[in-house]
């Protein structure tokens, strides 16, 4: 098995993560919905753009710093909210928030995290956002908003691409939603991953840490999957989103915008940001790649709200292309989870180091010394 220091790309980290995780966990991390078209398109879209390199431009010093939702970041790559991070490493969200902040970035905590809103805030002081859902249990959602406020989170992200769960067939086969089958399959797979198994057996139970007071079994993650899935509310509409935004009263992003029309509605609503996202290809299969939506959405609302993007980012060059096409910043999900599974906090730090190095290198090679200078003149569609 290679060491972290022998991982030179996100693909290397993915390969190491696969060797360390039980197959059930790797599938959950890596898989998409149905035929995984959108999962692939997210990546493929980056290959449809090439750079317009400029030379002789003094690129000794590269500045990757910017602001996202009013917070200063040292690089425009935010850790996206991902549920249940302790599945991938026993330190889970703690490892990620620490590494993201050490890299100069911001962190987003998922509602379905295995470390609570309060513990994450206590653990690392850097910029952070809380991802929220408009669930059936409005009292619980309202509590989340107040807890985030109390803990000084810098903004909320309302995930709007999940009126119901996508059909993730790897997870169905592995028994997600059927705790007994999941436990059996996880146990069988874990026998071939002794390091992971040891940590699983010797660390505290996984809990839906934000819901220990709201769900049965003190929100034991393996027992409440069905309770969580029952929370997704298909009646959610724009009015409900506005009510949540009004209760919060601060920076408020809609995560999961996938059309120009909805981007305009989000800007009309007064959202401070939108995240073009298809949940990393885990929800609607056949949803467009996020990068292909970016130019039109930026043209429509970029002057009224901050446009961010996630989905398929695995290279520093992907980030540079997204910024050139008008994104204020990007979020990464799988890229840091591969690092987390490969080596905990150090692994996430490796993810950030790889992406930073690649970004700086690309910026030098295209003749741009600061992200604020990036624009559509630096990329064009591949013609050949
Ligand atoms: C394992 C995993 C769990 C996720 N959990 C959540 C979640 O709890 N809430 C949410 O809004 N998005 C969730 N996402 C989606 C991410 O926030 C993000 O949109 C996506 O990962 C970006 O695509 P990428 O993985 O290709 O970078 C999850 C993604 C993954 C891979």
pLDDT digits (tens, 9 = 90+) for 49-103: 999 999 999 999 999 999 999 999 999 999 999 999 999 999 999 999 999 999 9
Q: Which residue, by CA, sits nearest to atom 13 of ligand 1?
A: 82
Q: Quick check: CB of 378 below 6 Å from ligand 1?
A: no
Q: Quick check: CB of 10 below 6 Å from ligand 1?
A: no
Q: Which of 83, 170, 228, 257 most suits a substitution to test ligand 1, by most atoms within 8 Å of the C-beta?
A: 83
Encoding tokens for residue 238?
């724009």
Q: Quick check: CB of 312 below 6 Å from ligand 1?
A: yes
pLDDT score of 109 more than 90: yes
Q: Quick check: CB of 82 below 6 Å from ligand 1?
A: yes
Out of 90-104, 132-146, 218-232, 301-315, least confident range: 218-232
Q: How many folded domains does the chain comprise?
A: 1
**Catalytic sites, residue numbers:** 279
Q: Quick check: CB of 40 below 6 Å from ligand 1?
A: no
CA dist., res. 107 & res. 21, Å (int): 23
H or E element at residue 155: strand 155-159
Q: Which residues contact 275 (CB under 8 A, 6 or more apart)?
A: 157, 253, 254, 255, 256, 257, 308, 309, 310, 331
Q: Which residue has tokens 């059309």?
A: 259
Q: Which residue, by CA, sits nearest to atom 30 of ligand 1?
A: 82
In contact, 76 and 319? CB cutoff 8 Å = yes
Q: Quick check: CB of 84 below 6 Å from ligand 1?
A: no
Residue 184: the pLDDT is 86
Q: Which of 81, 84, 114, 120 most suits a substitution to test ligand 1, by most atoms within 8 Å of the C-beta?
A: 81
Residue 161: the pLDDT is 97
Residue 1: the pLDDT is 82
Domain of residue 226 covers 4-381
Residue 83: the pLDDT is 96
DSSP 327-383: -SEEEESHHHHHHHHHHHHHHHHHHHHHHHHHHHHHHHHHT--BGGG--GGGEEE--
Q: Of ligand 1's atoms, which has the minimum distance to the CA of residue 133?
A: 11
In contact, 129 and 120? CB cutoff 8 Å = no
In contact, 310 and 290? CB cutoff 8 Å = yes
Confidence of residue 213 (pLDDT cuts 50, 70, 90): very high
Rounded mean pLDDT, 325-341: 98
Give me ligand 1 centre to Cα 277, in Å: 9
3 state DSSP class of 291: helix
Rounded mean pLDDT, 100-123: 98
Give me ligand 1 centre to Cα 110, in Å: 9
Give me ligand 1 centre to Cα 145, in Å: 20
Q: Quick check: CB of 290 below 6 Å from ligand 1?
A: no
Residue 357: the pLDDT is 98
Q: Of ligand 1's atoms, which has the minimum distance to the CA of residue 113?
A: 8
- Residue 250: which CATH number? 3.20.20.70
pLDDT, mean over the chain: 96
């Amino acid at each position: 098995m290679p060491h972290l220091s022998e991982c030179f790309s996100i693909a290397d980290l993915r390969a190491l993560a696969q060797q360390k995780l039980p197959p059930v966990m790797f599938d959950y991390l890596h898989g998409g919905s149905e035929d995984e078209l959108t999962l692939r398109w997210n990546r493929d879209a980056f290959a449809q753009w090439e750079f317009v390199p400029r030379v002789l431009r003094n690129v000794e010093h590269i500045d990757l710093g910017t602001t996202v939702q009013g917070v200063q970041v040292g690089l425009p790559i935010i850790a996206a909210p991902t549920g249940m991070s302790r599945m991938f490493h026993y330190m889970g969200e703690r490892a990620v928030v620490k590494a993201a902040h050490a890299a100069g970035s911001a962190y987003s905590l998922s509602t379905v995290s295995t470390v609570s809103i309060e513990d994450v805030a206590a653990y690392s002081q850097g910029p952070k956002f809380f991802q929220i859902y408009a669930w059936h249990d409005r009292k619980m959602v309202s509590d989340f908003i107040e807890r985030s406020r109390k803990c000084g989170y810098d903004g909320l992200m309302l995930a709007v691409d999940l009126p119901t769960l996508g059909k993730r067939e790897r997870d169905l086969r592995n028994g997600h939603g059927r705790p007994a089958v999941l436990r059996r399959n996880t146990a069988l797979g874990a026998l071939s991953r002794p390091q992971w198994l040891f940590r699983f057996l010797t660390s505290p139970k996984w809990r839906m840490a934000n819901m220990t007071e709201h769900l049965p079994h003190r929100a034991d993650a393996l027992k409440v999957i069905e309770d969580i899935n029952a929370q997704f509310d298909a009646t959610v509409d724009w009015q409900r989103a506005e009510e949540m935004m009004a209760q919060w009263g601060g920076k408020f992003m809609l995560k999961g915008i996938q059309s120009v029309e909805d981007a305009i509605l989000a800007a009309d609503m007064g959202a401070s940001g939108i995240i073009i996202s298809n949940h990393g290809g885990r929800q609607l299969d056949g949803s467009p790649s996020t990068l292909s939506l970016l130019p039109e959405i930026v043209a429509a609302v970029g002057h009224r709200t901050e446009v961010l993007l996630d989905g398929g980012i695995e290279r520093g060059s992907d980030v540079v292309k997204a910024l050139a096409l008008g994104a204020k910043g990007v979020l990464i999900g799988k890229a840091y989870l591969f690092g987390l599974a490969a080596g905990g906090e150090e692994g996430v730090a490796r993810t950030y180091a790889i992406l930073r190095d690649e970004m700086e290198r690309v910026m030098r090679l295209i003749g741009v010394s600061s992200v604020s200078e990036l624009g559509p003149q630096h990329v064009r569609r591949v013609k050949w």
